[in-house]
């Protein structure tokens, strides 16, 4: 069994896998990390690896305390991956984006893939059918957009995500919702159309915390899987063990 941990900018997600089967998923705050992992390992005593991908600010030592129970591994830029990284600055590419790209290659071979991760930030990652990682884009996620409008203006309120009934906002709140939600939907649809214009045999994977909120509002055919990063982390680690 493998316990995978994704340390994001906002929260920590984890999942226990037996082979390719996801047995249970967990979401918790950073201050709960050690207690939560301790409880997971008590429940799943047969876990042999703890595999971590982190873009957050959690110290490695917090995970290394569990080395007495299982092997702890941190995914890094030095690992072997099933694609050629053609990013101009490969060492600055987030490990989360690398793992998502690897998962897309392993799960959807010989296709052009666009992975859209809708979390704190929205990232776009394109891997062509020859398994070349070419790059993508980064933009603010839904909550960042709401927060920016509130933090950098004098009077706009901080709102929770809500899908407006019309793209014409009839009030300040509705105008904010329309700008944030519809703006992001238009952005994603626009990026997808641009990529579809340069590539055929194309698959779109939507993942991240806002997957369910966004999926039904997008006009393009997508594979929506909020657990894709955790699944990719497990598959990428197994790939590393096999070929490293």
Given its phi and psi angles, is residue 22 left (phi above 0), alpha (psi -120 to 50 degrees) or beta?
A: beta
Which of 237, 149, 210, 222 is closest to 11 using CA atoms? 210
Please report, for residues 115, 218, 220, the alpha-carbon distance to residue 191 in angstroms, rounded to integers and kept in the order given: 11, 12, 11
Q: For residues 31 and 7, is the Cβ–Cβ distance under 8 A? A: no
Do the Cβ atoms of 49 and 237 come closer than 8 Å?
A: yes
CA 98 → CA 27, 37, 58, 85, 118, distances in Å? 21, 24, 19, 9, 15
At a CB cut-off of 8 Å and minimum separation 6, what does 155 contact? none
Query: What is the distance between the alpha carbons of residues 229 and 174, in angstroms, rounded to a whole number?
Result: 33
Q: Which of 6, 96, 117, 131 is catalytic?
A: 96
Single out the residue of 178, 156, 181 nearest to residue 168, CA to CA: 178
Report the Cα–Cα distance between both ends of the chain, in Å, rounded: 19
174 is catalytic: no
* Residues classed as catalytic: 96
């Amino acid at each position: 069994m493998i316990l995978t941990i994704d340390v994001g900018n906002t929260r920590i997600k984890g999942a226990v896998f037996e082979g390719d089967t996801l047995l249970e998923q967990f979401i918790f705050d950073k201050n709960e990390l050690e207690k939560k992992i301790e409880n997971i390992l008590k429940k799943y005593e047969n876990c042999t690896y703890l595999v971590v991908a982190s873009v957050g600010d959690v110290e490695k030592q917090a995970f290394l305390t569990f080395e007495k129970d299982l092997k702890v591994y941190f995914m890094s830029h030095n690992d072997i991956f099933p694609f050629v990284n053609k990013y101009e600055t490969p060492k600055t590419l987030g490990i989360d984006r690398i793992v998502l790209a690897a998962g897309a290659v392993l799960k959807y071979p010989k296709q052009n893939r666009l992975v859209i991760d809708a979390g704190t930030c929205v990232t776009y990652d394109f891997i062509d059918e020859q398994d070349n990682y070419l790059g993508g884009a980064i933009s603010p996620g839904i909550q960042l957009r709401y927060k920016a409008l509130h933090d950098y203006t004098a009077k706009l309120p901080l709102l929770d995500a809500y899908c407006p009934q019309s793209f014409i906002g009839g009030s300040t709140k509705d105008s904010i919702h329309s700008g944030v939600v519809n703006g992001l939907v238009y952005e994603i649809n626009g990026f997808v159309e641009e990529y579809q214009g340069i590539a055929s045999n194309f698959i779109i994977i939507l993942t991240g915390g806002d997957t369910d909120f966004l999926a039904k509002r997008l006009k393009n055919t997508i594979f929506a899987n909020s657990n894709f990063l955790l699944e990719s982390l497990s598959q990428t680690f197994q790939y590393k063990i096999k070929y490293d």
